[in-house]
Amino acid sequence: MKSYRSARVLLPEIDRVLFANQPSFHSSPLDEVIDLLCRGRHYSWMGVYLTAEGEGSPQPIGAGGEGDVAALKFSGTRKKIIVSMKVGRHEVGVLSAESSGEHAFGAEDRVLLEKAAARLARFLTGPGKYIVRRERAMAEGAAARKAVAASEK
């Protein structure tokens, strides 16, 4: 059941989940944060994407929400907000939230998502975080393979 929860309530819960950092076989802290935001607000779907060095499109590392995402993509009233995840001046990815509501996103949503994005950026790039390193290594490997294939032609 969805219930509207303020940023003052959600942000400490996000901090608690990220601080505990207890991934399990079935979920990760990233999945829990996405679930908290989707259940606590009117978001139908959320995605977290890493921006890979030298790659044009961000790589998805987490997504969640309710309903059929494919059906929501074709809904005429679908609204979307995208917030940059930065550490200092370096962008590490984006946080995307979508809703089927007509006037779904207000100023509080923007502030909430900016603060959540900052917390996620620090979490994903903190000491020992394999997620960002793994995704970047995969993207760099793919770019290297493309370069080799292009030079062999």
Residue-wise pLDDT for 27-82, tens only, equals: 788 888 999 999 888 888 899 988 865 555 677 777 777 654 444 444 544 688 99
Q: Which of 4-8, 24-28, 51-55, 84-88 holds the top average pLDDT?
A: 84-88
Give me the phi and psi of 38, to 5 degrees please: -65, -40
36: left (phi over 0), alpha (psi -120 to 50) or beta: alpha
> Quick one: DSSP state of residue 66?
S
**Is residue 2 included in any domain, yes or no?**
no
| CATH number for 15 | 3.30.450.40
- State the pLDDT at residue 64: 76
Long-range contacts made by residues 131-134, C-beta under 8 angstroms, separation at least 24? Answer: 131/30, 131/50, 131/61, 132/50, 132/92
How many CB atoms are located within 10 Å of the residue 37 CB?
23
d(CA 87, CA 89): 6
The two three-digit tokens of residue 84, written as one number: 């940059």
Q: Are 110 and 98 within 8 A, CB to CB?
A: no
Q: Is residue 20 part of a domain?
A: yes
Give the rounded percent of residues in the chain with a pLDDT score beyond 70. 74
pTM of the model: 0.72
User: Is residue 111 within 8 Å of residue 95, measured between CB atoms?
Assistant: no
Per DSSP, the three-state class of 7 is helix
Asked, for residue 29, whether it belongs to a domain, the answer is yes
pLDDT at 69: 47
Kindly tell me if the per-residue pLDDT of 2 is higher than 50: yes
**Beta-strand pair 90-99/45-50:** antiparallel
What is the rounded distance in angstroms from the CA atom of residue 36 to the CA atom of residue 28?
12
Strands across the sheet containing 90-99: 59-65, 45-50, 90-99, 79-87
Which domain, by its residues, includes 82?
A: 7-152
> Is the residue at 106 inside a domain?
yes
Whole-number pLDDT of residue 24: 64
User: So what's the pLDDT on residue 72?
Assistant: 45
Q: Is residue 67 part of a domain?
A: yes
The total domain count for the chain is 1
Say if 75 falls within a structural domain: yes
Residue 1 lies in a domain: no
